[in-house]
Structure 1
Amino acid sequence: MSNEQRFDGDGFDWLIGRRIVKVEDAVAPADTYREIGGEVMSNHLSMYRITSIYSGGSVGVYWRSRKVEVRVYDAFEDHDYSIYLTLNVKQLTRIAKDIARAGELAWVDIKPKEAQSDAADWYSYYDKEFTNEGCFNLPIRRMVDVTTATTAELNKHVEFLIERPSAETFRCFQFNKAMMQDYLADYYKRLTELNRIES
């Protein structure tokens, strides 16, 4: 793969599934851009990143082997720990896909599995570094099929709670494998409801 490659429309569909075994096969070390919405995928401090730009800032999905983080930039005031983030449905759907994709690259053998305990639930996590909780309560149920949705449906606004564990970080969520399995269970359940995959 070349160091810079442009992708059509929705982009990154080639990452879905188990076709890519190693991260090195998925992205080049240099920045790789997709054309719509200002997203960028790059290698950043030995973690790979997909960033989705929205009107008030950006959401970065970072991954490396056995680790996925969600960071939100330019949304928090200096000392705020929690805010309601507003995205349109198309942006929400893209970020949901990016998190799922990152999880499948971080754990190549991962399978969707509903949480059996609160510790494996993906709605909140305890950050050991900052000894506090964070959350990125992405409302997956609001995802749409971007290929069939109307412009009005895609532009509907969705507001949801995000919290960072400290004013010193942009990190709102960090997935372990069990949390990612729970996330993927919810994500693929929604895709099935949208008739995007067979059950």
Structure 2
Amino acid sequence: MEVLLNNIRQCSICEKHLPLGPRPIASGHPDSKIVIIGQAPGTKVHASGIPWDDASGKQLRKWLNVSDDDFYDERKFAIIPMGFCYPGKGKSGDLPPRIECAPQWHQPLFDHMKQVELVILIGMYAQKYYLKDLAKRTLTETVANYKDYLPQYFTLPHPSPRNRFWLAKNPWFETEVLPELKKRVTHLV
């Protein structure tokens, strides 16, 4: 596993498309119980090299009801984004994750993690990649129907502060989905 993670951290397959250059960010351990698959690191995470080391990460840890120590314990959580490097800025936020990463690295990572009991799919890119035709028409529908994907997958919106309007429009997420997420995570951590 360490060799694989070192190979990932040296990856430069999409270097010419990355405005800040490659800095692949991923973590995992053969004993990881939960895998978090998000979009791609933002500029703050690119600078620090620590996954989810930003406002979105604070919100995610709150949703999961875990401490920083638990969240960054690779025996508990593996963190594998769809795109491992910061993809650049778009018109309304960051660009989509680079498409090269997931097909290149996800399966080899999962091949080393035989103890995984839950995969948390954050955002549309992760959900479409893993759920394929089972994903609903919209992210909201996919998250609302999270029970359809259990026990293997748990679907979430992105915890970005930019999603505060989505959260306000969908109060069922906080009252119905988050309690179930916290229960499952607490059981595994």
Query: TM-score normalised to the size of structure 2?
Result: 0.30
More strand by share: 1
Which structure would you say has the larger RCO, counting Cα contacts within 8 Å and 6 or more residues apart? 2
More helix by share: 2
Query: TM-score normalised to the size of structure 1?
Result: 0.29
